[in-house]
Amino acid sequence: MLRIALFLGTNLAIIMLISVTFRLLGIEGLLMQNGVDLDLNALLIYSAVVGFSGSLISLFISKWMAKRSMGVHVIEQPGSEIERWLVNTVALQAKRSGIGMPEVGIFDHSSPNAFATGWNRNAALVAVSSGLLQQMNRDEVEAVLAHEISHVANGDMVTLSLIQGVVNTFVVFLSRVIGHTVDRLVFKTERGHGPAFFIVSMISQFVLGILAMSIVMWFSRWREYRADKGGADLAGRQKMIAALRRLQQAHEPEAMPEEMAAFAISAGRVQKMFASHPPLEDRIAALGGVQRWGD
């Protein structure tokens, strides 16, 4: 909760700073002189509510969504030796990382994958795929678990959601400013909003949304390097490198649901600018390992 409070307080300060900056630069007065009667303060508040609401709601229900959408079987009482080992390994890593014991689960997926989610670092969920347990040895699985525990310990789920909320706020705000300005200055709408406002706002929101997504994905890639380092600290550098190499060997994984993609251990084939994960060879190189098998 402290992380959320500090982050929301910081971004409230940013919104206030933007409002003051617009006034000092005379932007609000300039708009009014040209017949653009736009209340920037009210628009900023509206944009923040719209921008953050979706991200925060998704964050708070992330565990519930993950369990339902991925069909996660949460291990409450280990029913096999591998389940017992998974729970004990996560418990040890969580203790070393100074976080509460996460729920541990398995989901049915043919590719080697894993994710961590949850709004609270002391009440998270760490889940691995059945394919991961079948295709990786225990040292490699341990490294994957350590990677996910590092995500939890770093508060990555919270931070990513809040960054998404910030960029959403600016997308909503700027798209409405552009739409309102074009509606007043170009189409000479005097009262209310004409069709141009809605059309231009939608187009602007789409274009700005693409640019905003590149910012969010840049942070997502950066946190993967940090989680790899954390995983190496918990499980050992060679185990972390071996796990990443195993992912290189695996066939292209099937697409995971979009809501889980940002927290998965491996990335799909998307353009680098919009990829949630860096290339595996870059991650291996960052840990000091060779980039390809046989090198």
Q: What is the number of alpha carbons within 13 Å of residue 200 lying toward its C-beta?
A: 19
Burial of 43 (0-12, 13-18, 19+ CB in 10 A): middle
Q: Give catalytic status of residue 148 as yes or no.
A: yes
Q: CA 108, CA 169: separation in Å to the nearest integer?
A: 36
Instruction: Please tell me which residue in 83, 103, 140, 148 is annotated as part of the active site.
Output: 148
DSSP string spanning 45-106? HHHHHHHHHHHHHHHHTHHHHHHHHHT-EE-SS--SHHHHHHHHHHHHHHHHHT-PPPEEEE
**Cα three-residue angle 41-202-268, rounded to 5 degrees:** 110
From the centroid of its chain, how far is CA 146?
Answer: 18
Q: CA 123, CA 224: separation in Å to the nearest integer?
A: 21
CB atoms within 10 A of CB 177: 20
Q: CA 207, CA 201: separation in Å to the nearest integer?
A: 10
Q: What is the number of alpha carbons within 13 Å of residue 258 lying toward its C-beta?
A: 2
Q: Is the dihedral of CA 164, 167, 168, 169 positive or negative?
A: positive
Q: CA 119, CA 15: separation in Å to the nearest integer?
A: 24
> Which are the catalytic amino acids?
148
